[in-house]
Amino acid sequence: MKTPVRGKTELMNLNPLPRPKRRTIKFPIVAVGLLLLAAHVASADNTNAVATTNAPADATAAAPAPKPDPAGTATGASGDAAAADGTTFVTTAPAELAGDDLKDTNKVAAYKAAKKAFDDYTAQAKLEPLAVKLSDSVGHNRVAVNFMWTLVTGFLVMFMQAGFALVETGLCRAKNAGHTMSMNFMIYPMGMLGFYLCGFAFMFGGLGGIGTMGGYSGLNHEITINIFGKPFGLLGWKGFMLQGAGYDTAAFALFLFQMVFMDTTATIPTGGAAERWKFSAFMIYGCCIGTIMYPLFGNWVWGGGWLSQLGANFGLGHGHVDFAGSSVVHMQGGVIALIFCWLIGPRFGKYDAQGKIVHPVMPHNIPFVMLGTFILAFGWFGFNPGSSLAGTDLRIAVVAVNTMLASATGALAATLWMWWFRTKKPDPSMMCNGMLAGLVAITCPCAFVSAGGASLIGLIAGIIVVESVFFFDRIGIDDCVGAISVHGVNGAWGCLSVGLFADGTYGSGWNGVSGTVTGLFYGGGFGQFIAEVIGVTTCFVTLSVLSVIVYYIAEKLVGNRVDREVEIEGLDVPEMGVTGYAGMVMDKQSETPMPHGESVSVRRSAGSMAKA
């Protein structure tokens, strides 16, 4: 029996790992009340009962519910021992045929072959009992390697928070350094706690088997609707607060890795809407991002939802494929940043009354930006290769090199494009955004393309990010750090590139579809590209709607934008109570030049504003 190629969430498995049982409902879920969630966490999720199905009453009794292994002593056994090509050593007994299956010659032949293989294995096991016992240790060690790989790469991704903080703060003005840093700091605990409360359950509660980490299948309740006779997974419903079915070592390892991915999405809008966003409004956003904004689309792609099944249900390639998160992580953050920047408006003084840029706002610390970019590039070696969830999947070498190459071509392309065609200078901030754009773009296709494909994807991303930044500036969308262009636009480009450049050497069985992931330029047809277009479009629409809702909730509760007086003074003292740079005298008025014919008198001192 061949173990399939492993991927982000094992959705592609063709092996007999338990698949999630789905409950069909007649209408989509619009909202989940907090009281309902609390009741569910307190009762239903504290059991390991399998989700109900529409099976007939006289159907064969369901198999025992998967039992969590919080100690880890029962995770990984002989069934996980496998050769380099994924072939397992242990052969299981085939299910007995019944009814019409007995008349199907192909099924009968397959059954006889499987039965003979099982009988041969059983006979051999009796002759070599020690080998069977040793295979348990081999299987456990193989799973342990995957656990360690997933955790260590998750730790690398967590450190990317420091990189984001430096990049965003450096690209903003000195008078807002403390406020920008504080948003980057607080989004980590806020997002994490929301994901722990319910976000993880919504995203992965219907995942099914976590194949690379022992095959635990307790997260098996996906809420679905039927459309055109096909199941459309909408939301997971197990693992709330990591209780019940979520109290398992494999589920915990998956939680840590996926939580730091969610926090990457969460921190992207803090740069786009910086320098005029109230900290109280930001905190409301922080409550929403990990609980529902991020997990919904994430479930559709990585949690067994409908986008992942576009291939199995409608023949569109392997469904929406996103190896490490160009859409699930980066494009989601970029779309949120776009909506927030549009609704909150540009920074005061940058545009005149006609919407023309008259005073470009300059970054205050380019060394911060460059140091942060290097930290992010380092963390990306956890982000992309770690998404295999398997240190035993040697494709991680290809993933790592592709990631590195795309970052280099992205940085070079952005630098030369600025130098030769835009400003006649090699802009340092755009060098960094070019590298980040290349990294964002390669995040989705990194496992499916060749080194040449990765280099080309990164190069195109470097040009796209420059033109995108100028475009959004021109239409009055004031993005302080280029988050929309780096993460949103290039997140979309990265997903589309899979449908073009996937070379067919990896991804066998991905999302339950036989064969490898192959793009248009390698003879795969348009199916995969169409699936990527659907996924990108869905991401944009879904996150736009959610972002508008969250923005106006915050607007009604506390308001989103600081007063103009505070914006000119700088947000550090009025919002945070301290300056980002103590002991330094800054000309804050020069950091926000007044439009022609307009002036604003800042009469209150910084101390009096802090008390207000």
For 233, the domain range is: 140-557
Taking Cα atoms as reference points, which of 281, 301, 215, 269 lies closest to residue 6?
215
In degrees, rounded to 5, the angle at the alpha carbon of residue 142 between the alpha carbons of residues 71 and 511 is 95
Considering only CA atoms, give the Rg of the chain: 26
CATH number of the domain to which 256 belongs:
1.10.3430.10
Residue with tokens 């659907």: 534
Task: Tally Cβ neighbours within 10 Å of residue 107.
Answer: 13
DSSP assignment of 363-392 equals: PS-HHHHHHHHHHHHHHHHHHTGGGG--TT
194-233 residue pLDDT tens: 999 999 999 999 999 999 999 999 999 999 999 989 999 9
> Predicted confidence band at 15 (pLDDT cuts at 50, 70, 90)?
very low
Q: Among 104-108, 131-135, 146-150, 555-559, which is the least confidently predicted range? A: 131-135
Provide the number of structural domains found in the chain: 1
In a domain, 589, yes or no: no
In a domain, 411, yes or no: yes
In a domain, 431, yes or no: yes
Q: Among 131-135, 229-233, 336-340, which is the least confidently predicted range? A: 131-135
**Separation between Cα atoms, residue 224 and residue 233, nearest integer Å:** 4
* Overall average pLDDT of the 591-609 stretch: 51
**Separation between Cα atoms, residue 465 and residue 484, nearest integer Å:** 9
Beta-bridge partners for 25: 225
CA-based torsion, 78, 83, 116, 125: positive or negative: negative
- Residues of the chain above pLDDT 90, percent: 71
- The enclosing H or E element of 261 equals helix 249-272
- The enclosing H or E element of 280 equals helix 279-288
3-state helix, strand, coil in the chain (%, to 5): 60, 5, 35
Decide if pLDDT at 310 tops 60: yes
* Overall average pLDDT of the 355-376 stretch: 94
pLDDT at 597 (0 to 100): 54
554-573 residue pLDDT tens: 999 999 999 999 999 999 99
Q: Contact 239/49 with Cβ under 8 angstroms?
A: no
> Predicted confidence band at 588 (pLDDT cuts at 50, 70, 90)?
low
pTM: 0.87
pLDDT at 590 (0 to 100): 63
pLDDT at 594 (0 to 100): 61
**Separation between Cα atoms, residue 461 and residue 413, nearest integer Å:** 8
Decide if pLDDT at 536 tops 80: yes
> Predicted confidence band at 249 (pLDDT cuts at 50, 70, 90)?
very high
In a domain, 134, yes or no: no
Decide if pLDDT at 390 tops 60: yes
* Overall average pLDDT of the 152-161 stretch: 98
61-119 residue pLDDT tens: 456 788 999 999 989 888 888 877 777 777 888 888 888 888 888 888 988 888 898 88
Taking Cα atoms as reference points, which of 450, 446, 452, 451 lies closest to residue 495?
446
* Overall average pLDDT of the 131-138 stretch: 84
In a domain, 108, yes or no: no
34-64 residue pLDDT tens: 434 444 443 444 433 333 333 333 434 456 7
pLDDT at 81 (0 to 100): 82
**Separation between Cα atoms, residue 40 and residue 34, nearest integer Å:** 10
In a domain, 135, yes or no: no
* Overall average pLDDT of the 269-275 stretch: 97
In degrees, rounded to 5, the angle at the alpha carbon of residue 233 between the alpha carbons of residues 227 and 238 is 150
> Predicted confidence band at 494 (pLDDT cuts at 50, 70, 90)?
very high
In a domain, 514, yes or no: yes
Decide if pLDDT at 155 tops 90: yes
pLDDT at 252 (0 to 100): 98
399-457 residue pLDDT tens: 999 999 999 999 999 999 999 999 999 999 999 999 999 999 999 999 999 999 999 99
* Overall average pLDDT of the 446-475 stretch: 98
pLDDT at 147 (0 to 100): 97
In a domain, 530, yes or no: yes
> Predicted confidence band at 589 (pLDDT cuts at 50, 70, 90)?
low
